[in-house]
Amino acid sequence: MTVSHDNPWAGIPERYNLGAALTAGNVAAGRGERVCLIWENSLGATRRFTYAEMDELSNRCAAALAKLGVARGDRVLLRLPNVPEFYIAALGIAKLGAVFIPTSTQFRAAEIAYRLQDSGAVAAITTADLVDELEEAQNDAPDCKHLIVTAGEEATDAATPGHNFWQLLGETSTSFTAADTASDEVAFIAYTSGTTGDPKGVVHYHRYPISYDSLIRHWHDYRDDDVCACPAEVGWLLPVATTFLYSMRVGITAVLFHQVDGRFDPAAWRRLIAKYQISNFVGTPTIYRMLVADTANADSLASLRHGVSAGEPLPPDTISSVRSVLGFAPLDGIGMSECMVYCFNRLGDDVLPGSCGRPAPGCDIRLVDEELCDVPDGQEGVLVVRRDSHPGMMREYWNKPEQTTEIFRGNWYYSGDVLVRDAEGRYWFQGRADDVINASGYRISPFEVESCLVEHPSVLEAAAVESPDALRGMVVKAFVVLRNGRTPSDDLAEELQHWVKDRLAPYKYPRRVEFLAALPKTTSGKIRRRVLRDAEREKVQAVAKPAAAPKFPHPIARCDSAHQSGPANRPERAEPAPAPADSALSGK
Is the pLDDT at 495 greater than 80, yes or no?
yes
344 residue type, one letter: F
pLDDT at 370: 84
Confidence of residue 195 (pLDDT cuts 50, 70, 90): low
| 3-state class (DSSP) for residue 331 | strand
* DSSP character at residue 216: I
Q: Which of 11-15, 84-88, 292-296, 546-550 has the lowest mean pLDDT?
A: 546-550
Contact between 404 and 201 (Cβ < 8 Å): no
pLDDT at 471: 82
Higher pLDDT, 226 or 1: 226
pLDDT at 547: 40
d(C-alpha 79, C-alpha 234), whole Å: 9
Contact between 149 and 126 (Cβ < 8 Å): yes
Is the pLDDT at 438 greater than 90, yes or no?
no
pLDDT at 573: 29
Q: Which of 92-96, 115-119, 339-343, 550-554 has the lowest mean pLDDT?
A: 550-554
pLDDT at 523: 56
Averaged pLDDT, 295-307: 93
Q: For 2-24, what is each residue's pLDDT tens digit?
A: 554 568 888 899 999 999 999 99
| Burial (CB count <10 Å: 0-12, 13-18, 19+), residue 205 | buried
Higher pLDDT, 348 or 587: 348
Q: For 454-475, what is each residue's pLDDT tens digit?
A: 889 999 889 999 999 888 888 9
Averaged pLDDT, 99-111: 95
Average of per-residue pLDDT values in the chain: 87
Q: CA-based Rg of the chain, rounded to a whole angstrom?
A: 23
Q: Where are the domains of the chain?
A: 17-211, 439-559
Averaged pLDDT, 364-372: 93
d(C-alpha 131, C-alpha 138), whole Å: 10
Is the pLDDT at 563 greater than 50, yes or no?
no
Averaged pLDDT, 293-303: 89
Strand runs (DSSP E) across 483-577, as ranges?
Answer: 512-516, 555-559
Beta strands 35-41; 253-258: pairing state? parallel
CATH topology of domain 17-211: Rossmann fold (3.40.50)
| 3-state class (DSSP) for residue 256 | strand
Is the pLDDT at 151 greater than 60, yes or no?
yes
| 3-state class (DSSP) for residue 347 | coil
Contact between 191 and 101 (Cβ < 8 Å): yes
pLDDT at 543: 63
pLDDT at 544: 56
Is the pLDDT at 576 greater than 80, yes or no?
no
Is the pLDDT at 187 greater than 70, yes or no?
yes
Q: Which of 254-258, 265-269, 270-274, 561-565 has the lowest mean pLDDT?
A: 561-565
Averaged pLDDT, 163-185: 96
For residue 120, CA distances in Å to 140, 142, 144, 386, 398 come to 11, 9, 7, 31, 10
Averaged pLDDT, 203-217: 96
Averaged pLDDT, 487-515: 95
Q: For 32-83, what is each residue's pLDDT tens digit?
A: 999 999 999 999 999 999 999 999 999 999 999 999 999 999 999 999 999 9
CATH topology of domain 439-559: GMP Synthetase; Chain A, domain 3 (3.30.300)
Q: Which of 150-164, 294-308, 506-520, 564-578 has the lowest mean pLDDT?
A: 564-578
pTM beyond cutoff 0.85:
no
CA 262 to chain centre: 15
Averaged pLDDT, 533-562: 53
Is the pLDDT at 483 greater than 50, yes or no?
yes
Question: Which helix (H) or strand (E) segment is 118 a member of?
Answer: helix 109-119
CA 37 to chain centre: 20
Q: Integer distance in angstroms from the first to the last C-alpha of the chain? A: 31
Contact between 374 and 344 (Cβ < 8 Å): no
Averaged pLDDT, 163-168: 95
For a pLDDT cut of 70, what percent of the chain falls above it? 89
Q: Which of 343-352, 484-493, 564-573, 574-583 has the lowest mean pLDDT?
A: 564-573
d(C-alpha 311, C-alpha 583), whole Å: 8
pLDDT at 211: 96
Give me the DSSP letters along 96-107. Answer: HT-EEEE--TT-
pLDDT at 554: 32
Is the pLDDT at 560 greater than 90, yes or no?
no
Whether 439-559 and 17-211 are alike in CATH topology: the answer is no
